[in-house]
Structure formats: C-alpha cells, structure tokens
Chain A
Amino acid sequence: MNGADAIIKCLEKEGVEVVFGYPGVAICPFYNSILDSEIRTVLIRTEQNAAHAASGMARVTGRPGVCAVTSGPGATNVITGIATAFADSIPLICITGQVNSELLGSDVFQEADITGAVESFVKYSYLVKKAEDIPRIMKEAFHIANTGRKGPVLIDVPIDIQNASLGKFEYPEEISMRTYKPTVKGNTVQIKKVIKELEKAKRPIICAGGGVLLSDAQHELRSFADKHRIPVVTTMMGIGVMPTEDPFYFGMVGNNGKPYANRAMNESDLLIMVGARVADRAVSQPDLITENKVLVHIDVDPAEIGKNVGPTIPLVGDAKHIFDDLNAEEFSCSHEEWIDTLNEYRKTMAPKRKPNPDFVDPAELIRLLSLKMKEDSIYVADVGQNQIWSCGYHIVRKGMFLTSGGMGTMGYSIPAAMGAKLAAKDRQVVAVCGDGSFQMSMMELATMRQHDIPVKIIVLKNNYLGMVREYQHYTYKDHYSVVDLSGSPDLEKLSAAYDLPFLRLSDMENVEGVLDEFLKEDRSVLLECLIDPYDLVK
C-alpha cells in the first residue's frame, strides 16, 4: 500500500462516494489508486468548480464534499471555490497534489505554496510530510471540517509521499487533538436568561442564518417558533429554515430583503440571532439591532459573537443542541398584538413590481417555477440580480435553497447544482443563473453530459452584468463601464453543441407550458428567459 492508496482507503472509511477534480502529474498516484475503489470520480472542467460541486454535495448530505486537484495552477485555481465554502462555512476536503517533497521551495515546475496561499480561507491545512501520517491527518481533517463551525480543510500531498509505501494501514477510531474541542452544548445559565427575556418580551423575533441549516436544526427551531408563536426572519443563507409560506415566517432581512422583514427585526424588543454573522448585507446598520432591545446571539463560533455587534446575552453552542434545550423549558409568552402588527406590515409593505410585458418577468417566473417544482426540490441560485430575484420570489416548501451568500461567487450555481444532484439523485435540481454567471461556468455542460448529471438550468438573459449595471445606474448616474455582455454565445446553438434540449421564453405568454416542459422528466434542459435589461433600474 502506498500513500495514495491510504488516502483512498481513508475516503472510503469516511463514506465518500464522489470525488470531483482534475488530474495533473502531481495528483496522478491518487487518481491511479482511486480506480481500484468504488468511489466515483467526476472530471470537472475547471478546478474552481470542483470545490463548488463538492460544496453543493456537502450542503445536501451534511457531510464534507471532496475534491482533488493537481499542484501549481490546479491548486491555485481551486482557491476561489475554497474561499466560497469558507465564507458560507461549508465542510470541504480539498486534496492537492504537490511536487516532490525534496524539491519543495525550489520553484520547480507546477510548484505553488498552496497551504500558504489558502491560509486565510481554510479552517485548517496540512502539508503531508510522511506517508505514515496520512490516516491520522485524514481522520482529523474530516473531523475538523464537519464539527464546530464547519469549513474547508486542505491537504497538500507531495507526489513522493503519495508513492511512498506505508507499513500498515490503520484508520484511527479516536481523534486526539488537544487544541480543538468546539463547544456544542449551550451554557444552562445563559439559556435560562433567554427564557426569562422571552417571558418578558412583547415583540420577540428570531433571525435565523445559515448556521441553523448547517447544524440541521430547522426542525427544532420551527417547533420552538410554532409552540411559542415567535415570528422568524432569515438571512440569505438562512432561506429554507422555514417554509416560505409558514404564517410565522416574515422573509429575508438585509438590503436585498423584504422591507417588512427588516422593519420587524428593527422594531423587535427581543432579537434572537442564531447562526448568523451579522454581516453588512444582512444588517447594514448594526446599531438598529441593538437599540432598545435585548439581543441574544447564538453561534457555535465564539468569535462571531461580539464581532459585529455586542449582544446582551451571548450563547455559544450548536443551534440544534440549544433549540433542544430551549424546547425542553416550560414557559409562556404572549405577544398576539406583535404578530398582528407584523402581518399588517407584510400586507402593506410588500414590494411592488412593474414588470415590462415585452419580456419575461423574472420575479413571476421564479414564483411559478418554485410552485411547479417538486416539493422537495433543490433550487440553486447564482450571484447577481438573479440571486436577488431568487431570494425574493422562490417559494421553499420542503426543499433546499443553495447559493453563495458570503463570498458572492459568480458561476456557483451550475457546479453546485451538479454536486447537489449527485447527492440527491431522486430530487429535482434546478440552477438559476444570469447570462454573466452562466458564462463563468458553462464549460461544465460537458461535465453534465459526460457524467450524466441531469441538472436543469435557467439562464435569465439581459445581455448585461445586471447587478453592476444597477450599481452604476445609481452610483455613477448611468455611466456604464464594462457591463455589456455583447458577444455572448447563442444559447440555442450552444445547447445543440452539447446535445442538450433547449427552451426559450421571450415573454410571459405560455410561461406555464414552457415551465411544465422544462420540468418534465429527470433530464438536463437549458431554458433561456429574455428579461428586460432595465428591470430594477426604472
């Protein structure tokens, strides 16, 4: 057995079923050994997307997604994918090949100091120096990636270490890391304090972030909110914690969120922030969420508490454990007037759109699409104006909503949707992107064809980088710079080139029929929707 065999063996022990990646000489021993394993390999068309695909898979399975790429440019290309996962706390194992360990530091062909380069985007990284260390490192890496605040772990393996023979293989049962013991159970005294505040509160609200989904605590949170009739809002990463049409759900907060959600959060007298970073897009004015109110901040990462706002009651722990503990407490709180007020806000403050009838209205399209999709479907939104429409109009029932919230990485949706589809073969997976973000990942159409991954793709086409254009409209008074997407390919011809069925919607006439056709059968389809380039700026 050599080092590469040992890595594969460890992946098997961890229950890994798919590895996304791109080979090169420095990772060839790994890709040679994987042939003797049941693990499926997916040849992605650029390394960044290997990390995105692994991220999509991780978000569906709740276990770390795995990608493996070569040294030098392979490793540096994957950085954006790693940073994207890091910003959203997605568990990832990224294995990079490296040049011969004796040549490290001499700038040989395809050498890159990848552990140095990714330092600020990984939860941890390893440079393997002895083949004997592989089982321990792999065990630790999976543990680190998927516990506490989850995140990517990079393992850099020089080619000679992959080829070095390993005496005997023993996968450790236990982890012994004296420096890493995340707190998952909430402090009882703090929990009692929260209950006491809830009993007093007249206008309580819960703001749920992506951490709730990562801890798989949506069920516990919903029971708590239901039982005590506490309204819930979410951040972008928290979409899906509550079904969109739940009477206690009041939408997404933030500068792209629902005005009534922001108002609800600002006017509350007790705000329970859980698994959310309180970053600038969700909370543009941190003073407003601390003013005249009790702020409870629940997070598994103690460093997030107090980073952007100083809470009244800090509560470190895993959301699932904490809501279990909260659900076990008997208490009563009453705030019917508050619910009435919020329902009134929802009715009167809903954003009004004036769609151009000559084009497809993306908002209505997304709303209809989500109602036609199967209940448990996975919707993957890209980045740009399309993301804002997706967040605003997609209706989550029992499914999932995936997007790159923290890093806002364009091109995320197609590879992430592929990862999600491979993790949930019997669920419908739809990627919705703009024509800018589509072109950042369109090379993956080949991957979908090659590996038969039936992801459905919608391209909202307006021939512009819409979000930047919108910004230039407001900030630079229509002084548009480098946002025109002329020269983009004819998507019908492109679909034909990849042998993919193609559909087009030019306006809202027959939208239902086309969507039915699009969603029919479990196959890849590309649907182009022509939207008004002036939407959102008029």
Chain B
Amino acid sequence: MKRIYSVLVENRSGVLCKVAGLFSRRCFNIDSLAVGETDDKNVSCMTIVSSGDLRTIEQVEKQLNKKIDVIKVKTFDESQSISRELMLIKIKYNKSNRRDIMENCEIMKAQIVDMSTHFMIIQICDVPERIQLFIKMLQSISIVEVARTGTLALSKCTE
C-alpha cells in the first residue's frame, strides 16, 4: 500500500538525517523523498512516499510524530492528493529521431529546455506514472542522464 507523508519540520541542519535515519533504522521503505522550504523560512516540508501494510503505515506516522524536530505529519493516499514530480532528462539525438522526440514531447506536454547539436534536455512535470511512461517512450533513444525530484504532494482542496 502506497502512502504519502507530508511532514513539516524545523528547518535546521541535521533534520533530514534524523528523518531519513528513522526510516532506515525501522526498516520502513522510502520510495521517494523531496525536501524544500515552505512559505515560512524556519519550516521545511518533506514529502515522503512510502509503502507498507496498515500497521507499518501507522507506525511510520507515530514514529515521525515522536521526532522532536517534526512539527506536523499529514498523511494521505494518492487518491486524496494532488501529486506531481519534475524530471529533467538529457538525451542524445540525431536527425532521424528528432522529429519523433518532439512529437513525444508534445503528446506528453514536455518541454525541451536546452539543446546542442547532439544533446537535448527535456523537462516534464506530471504524476509519477506519466513520468515513468515518458521514460519508457524515450527508451529507444539513448538516454544520457535523468534527474527527478521525487513526488511532491498536497492534500486535495476541500471546502
């Protein structure tokens, strides 16, 4: 079972290590982890995607809450949240496949953000499944490098 944890933490050095260390020590999986400052510069938001059975999910939340640098833990599953991931992918292209690549980008709403005579960097921001799909579409072309942010998520707006 996949679960998304949106964890507000004190923006201090060592906090990332404490939270990541908790996952490894307790043998909880981390599928992805993204960290960034919030509107308050003293607070960071960590978005952690983890998977496990019900008991594990409950334990992850409780153990996170126990950490003294953790301000708030919100958890939700994918259906209750809007999640996005950003990927930059560098590929090697040639004359014969350039057109195909551009078409793929158009279909997937990806953008070419940098280019040289042989290489280009494509940017895509989408849900993790579509990012995976995009990688698959580019697999026949030679992929040089990939950088992904990991999932970012917020719970859906409710009245």
Contacts and interface: CB of A to CB of B under 8 A. Distances in A.
A127 interface: yes
Interface stretch (A118-126, A196-204, A505-513): A118-126
A139 to B, nearest CB: 14
Given A120-B25, A179-B10, A303 B62 contact: yes
A179 to B, nearest CB: 5
A303 B66 contact: yes
Given A116-B17, A119-B17, A124 B55 contact: no
Contacts of B68: 123-124, 144, 177, 179-180
B21 A119 contact: yes
B155 to A, nearest CB: 21
A301 interface: yes
Contacts of B70: 179
A9 to B, nearest CB: 24
Interface string A167-203: 0000000000111100000000000000000000000
B71 A306 contact: no
Interface of B is mostly: helix
Nearest to B66: A303
A116 B22 CA distance: 12
A177 B70 CA distance: 11
Contact of A119 (B18, B55, B65): B18
Contacts of A178: 71
A307 B71 CA distance: 22
A307 B55 CA distance: 8
B62 to A, nearest CB: 4
A408 to B, nearest CB: 19
Contact of A306 (B21, B58, B66): B58
A302 interface: yes
Interface in A95-116: 115-116
Contacts of B21: 119-120
A243 interface: no
Interface in B22-73: 22, 25, 55, 58-59, 62-63, 65-66, 68-71
A156 B10 CA distance: 19
Nearest to B61: A303
Contacts of B63: 303
A115 B14 contact: yes
A310 interface: yes
Given A120-B21, A120-B25, A179-B70, A302 B55 contact: no
Contacts of B65: 302-303
Given A119-B21, A179-B69, A306 B14 contact: no
Most chain-A Cβ atoms within 10 A of its Cβ — which of B14, B22, B59?
B14
Nearest to B64: A303
A228 to B, nearest CB: 31
Nearest to B58: A306
B17 A306 contact: no
Interface residues of A, number: 18
Contacts of A127: 14
A310 B10 contact: no
Contacts of B10: 179
Contacts of B66: 301-303
A35 B107 CA distance: 75
Contacts of A303: 59, 62-63, 65-66
A123 B65 CA distance: 13
B10 to A, nearest CB: 7
Interface string A268-307: 0000000000000000000000000000000001110011
A307 B25 contact: no
A115 B69 CA distance: 14
Given A120-B25, A127-B14, A302-B62, A179 B71 contact: yes
A461 to B, nearest CB: 38
A144 B68 CA distance: 9
B25 to A, nearest CB: 5
A180 B66 CA distance: 8
A127 B14 CA distance: 10
A119 B67 CA distance: 11
A439 to B, nearest CB: 31
Nearest to A304: B62
B5 to A, nearest CB: 15
B71 to A, nearest CB: 5
Nearest to B10: A179
A154 to B, nearest CB: 12
Given A115-B14, A116-B17, A119-B21, A306 B69 contact: no
Contacts of B62: 302-303, 306-307
A395 B91 CA distance: 75
A438 B69 CA distance: 40
Contacts of A119: 17-18, 21
Contacts of A120: 21-22, 25
A371 to B, nearest CB: 42
Most chain-B Cβ atoms within 10 A of its Cβ — which of A123, A302, A303?
A303
Nearest to A144: B68
Given A179-B68, A302-B65, A307 B59 contact: yes
A124 B70 CA distance: 12
Nearest to B59: A307
A310 B55 contact: yes
9 contacts: A116-B14, A144-B68, A178-B71, A179-B69, A179-B70, A302-B66, A303-B66, A306-B59, A310-B55
Given A115-B14, A179-B68, A306-B58, 7 more contacts: A119-B17, A179-B69, A301-B66, A303-B62, A303-B63, A306-B59, A306-B62
Across the A-B interface, the 5 shortest Cβ-Cβ residue pairs: A303-B62, A124-B68, A120-B25, A179-B71, A180-B68
Interface of B: 10, 14, 17-18, 21-22, 25, 55, 58-59, 62-63, 65-66, 68-71
